[in-house]
């Protein structure tokens, strides 16, 4: 396709008096892996939630594959899209949260096939075929009949990734997908994310895992207080950041020492 998959222009979001996003412009190209980092409370989750229309912007526009998200033109004015259309738009964006949010009363496979059957109208056989393929991809084919309570956190998160992929999204959003996991379990999830990136999935990833950012990201975005402070390839951001706030953040929070001499 031509043009960016995601385009954000002048995005602002307030909760009451508090403006959390203060004018974000962003484009994400097909196959691009973008990692978003920044201090706690700077608006990373809110940005991702706006991209999935879990939050609606206070101001600004978001285009998904060239189509306005959550809004449409009517009689020369922009009006909210009907809920069913927003749901259709959402099917193009998979989201993985810090908490895995699996249905506890469904097996791993059951969790994955639920939405493709309900939303996309796949038959059980079709959905199961897709679900088994995805379980294999995340290394959990042998756990297909387990309920979430019998899976480790890392396994639950891998099921959650498979569940998001089952809708065949064009973009995947990861909101601190490994923050609730012990390092060993985080690694198995990061490996799945890395595989996905290598296969060409377009990804926007909020994470504190700087190894992932260095090795997998095409671009790193540093957010601070609701704006994009700085962005660039990891090789530049981690060694020669231009903004003092970026240096301070990398040093203090992430214990990364930018090579200031660079
Ligand atoms: N639904 C909401 N209602 C009111 N305030 C909110 C809501 N969602 C987020 N906020 C506030 O917006 C600010 C930004 O939150 P957000 O979760 O986007 O930050 P973040 O950068 O993802 O932080 P963290 O790294 O700690 O998860 C925070 O001060 C938060 O309390």
**Which tokens sit at 246?**
């970026």
Question: What are the tens digits of pLDDT across the range 79-138?
Answer: 999 999 999 999 999 999 999 899 999 999 999 999 999 999 999 999 999 999 999 999
* DSSP for 142-158, written as a single string: GGTT--GGGS-HHHHHH
Q: How much is the pLDDT for 252?
A: 79
For residue 112, how far is the Cα from the chain centroid? Answer: 18
Sign, CA torsion 217/179/51/44: negative
Q: Output the residue whose Cα is nearest ligand 1's atom 18.
A: 43
| Atom number of ligand 1 nearest to Cα 176 | 27
- Distance, in Å, from the CA atom of 189 to the CA atom of 153, rounded to the nearest integer, reads 10
- For residue 205, the model assigns a pLDDT of 98
Q: How far is the CA of 45 from the centre of ligand 1 (A)?
A: 7
| Location of structure tokens 């090579």 | 259
Residue with the nearest Cα to atom 24 of ligand 1? 40
Residues with Cβ < 8 Å from 15, sequence gap 6 or more?
Answer: none
Q: Measuring from atom 26 of ligand 1, which residue has the nearest CA? A: 40
Q: What is the pLDDT of residue 254?
A: 64
CA torsion sign for 126, 128, 132, 138 is: positive
Dist. CA 135 → ligand 1 center (Å): 32
**pTM for the whole structure:** 0.94
Ligand 1 center to 43 CA (angstroms): 6
Answer yes or no: is the C-beta of 54 below 6 A from any ligand 1 atom: no
How many residues appear in the chain?
262
Q: Could you say which residues of the chain have pLDDT below 50?
A: 260-262
């Amino acid at each position: 396709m031509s043009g960016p998959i995601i385009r954000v222009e002048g995005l602002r979001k307030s909760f009451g008096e508090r403006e959390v996003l203060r004018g974000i412009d962003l484009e994400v190209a097909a196959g691009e892996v973008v990692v978003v980092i920044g201090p706690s409370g700077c608006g990373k989750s809110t940005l991702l939630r706006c991209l999935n229309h879990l939050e609606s912007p206070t101001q600004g526009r978001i285009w998904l594959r060239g189509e306005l998200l959550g809004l449409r033109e009517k009689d020369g004015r922009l009006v909210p899209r009907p809920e069913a259309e927003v749901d259709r738009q959402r099917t193009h964006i998979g989201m993985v949260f810090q908490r895995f949010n699996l249905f506890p009363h469904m097996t791993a496979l059951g969790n994955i096939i639920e939405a493709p059957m309900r939303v996309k109208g796949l038959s059980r056989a079709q959905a199961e075929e897709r679900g088994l393929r995805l379980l294999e991809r995340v290394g959990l084919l042998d756990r297909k009949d387990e309920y979430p309570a019998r899976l480790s956190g890392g396994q639950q998160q891998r099921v959650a990734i498979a569940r998001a992929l089952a809708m065949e999204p064009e973009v995947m959003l990861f909101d601190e997908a490994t923050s609730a996991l012990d390092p060993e379990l985080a690694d198995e999830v990061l490996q799945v994310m890395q595989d996905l990136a290598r296969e060409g999935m377009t990804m926007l990833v909020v994470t504190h895992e700087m190894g992932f950012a260095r090795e997998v990201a095409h671009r790193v975005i540093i957010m601070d207080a609701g704006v994009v402070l700085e962005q660039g390839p990891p090789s530049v951001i981690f060694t020669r950041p231009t903004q003092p706030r970026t240096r301070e953040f990398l040093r203090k929070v992430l214990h990364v020492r930018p090579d200031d001499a660079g």
